[in-house]
Amino acid sequence: MTSPVRCLLVDDELPALDELSYLLSEFEDVRIVGTAMSASQAMEEIVRLRPEVVFQDIQMPGATGFHVLERALKCPDPPLFVFATAYDQYAIRAFEENAVDYLLKPVSRERLAKCLGRLRSLLRQNEAGLAVQPKLEELLKGMGLGQPLVRISVEHRGRVLLLGHADVVLIRTEERRMLVHTRDAQYIHHGPGTLDRLEEKLAALSFFRANRGELVNLTQVRDFAPWFNGKYLLTMRDHAATEITVSKARVRDFRDQLGLA
């Protein structure tokens, strides 16, 4: 008899975890070995439990599901990833062209059964010594991890200026507008959108949601210090040495993304 597929479930919302766990329990050849509710916890459980498959939510506070995938690929025997997403625009096109599957929330049993069939096929390839990892790396490229081309549009003297993501120090909301800060200037973000959507677009890059209203480029953080109530205070590398507060709930993910012990 074939061994059950060992799965780890990752989602920051408990109802979503419970629902997926219930759906997977209907398949006899699936075994749920653990759950996690943050990117940092997910990595701990991947190392500890060594699952064959990780069902991973994309949008979570701090680090995203793509960051977990990027880190997991550095493990000696990385698991396969299935991403769960409520968004059907930017992600799904890339998933459909790669070995790793996706589930659109709310998850249906029929779609889950198809996904599990695909996973079993990939796991058999793994057992036969065929390389599945290059397909995972292809997914990373498709999702913008590696050498992405991302431009942030801002208003400048009646025209639309395109900024490279590396030039942006931080993005913040203020009076229903989004302000984009570079080292020596401040611009109004061009076009409709929310900070949530920008965070999603920049998730594969070095941007981190420090708090509800501010998204910072981690490569532009000069220094930081513990602050009151378990928060951190960041100093950015712009000419104004802007200070940003990392909320208590995001401190651990901030340390994880910087690789701090």
pLDDT tens digit sequence for 40-55:
899 999 999 999 999 9
Task: Find out if CATH 2.40.50.1020 is the number for domain 151-258.
Answer: yes
Q: What number of CA atoms fall less than 13 Å from residue 51's CA on the CB side?
A: 27
- What are the sequence ranges of the domains in the chain? 5-141, 151-258
- The confidence score (pLDDT) of residue 106 equals 85
pLDDT tens digit sequence for 53-110:
999 988 776 677 777 887 887 788 889 888 887 765 545 544 544 436 778 788 889 9
CA triple 233-236-239, angle to 5 deg? 135
Are the folds of 5-141 and 151-258 the same?
A: no
pTM of this structure: 0.54
- Other beta carbons within 10 angstroms of residue 241's beta carbon come to 10
For 5, 111, 214, 223, the CA distances from 27, given in Å and listed in that order, are 10, 13, 42, 49
Estimate to the nearest angstrom the gap between the alpha carbon of 3 and the chain centroid. Answer: 30
Average pLDDT, the chain: 83
Strand partners, 224: 234
CATH of 5-141, one of 3.40.50.620, 3.40.50.2300, 2.40.37.10, 2.60.120.620: 3.40.50.2300
Listing DSSP states for 209-246 in one string gives EEETTEEEEGGGEEEEEE-GGG-EEEEESSTT--EEEE
Angle formed by the axes of helices 39-49 and 65-72, to 10°?
Answer: 30
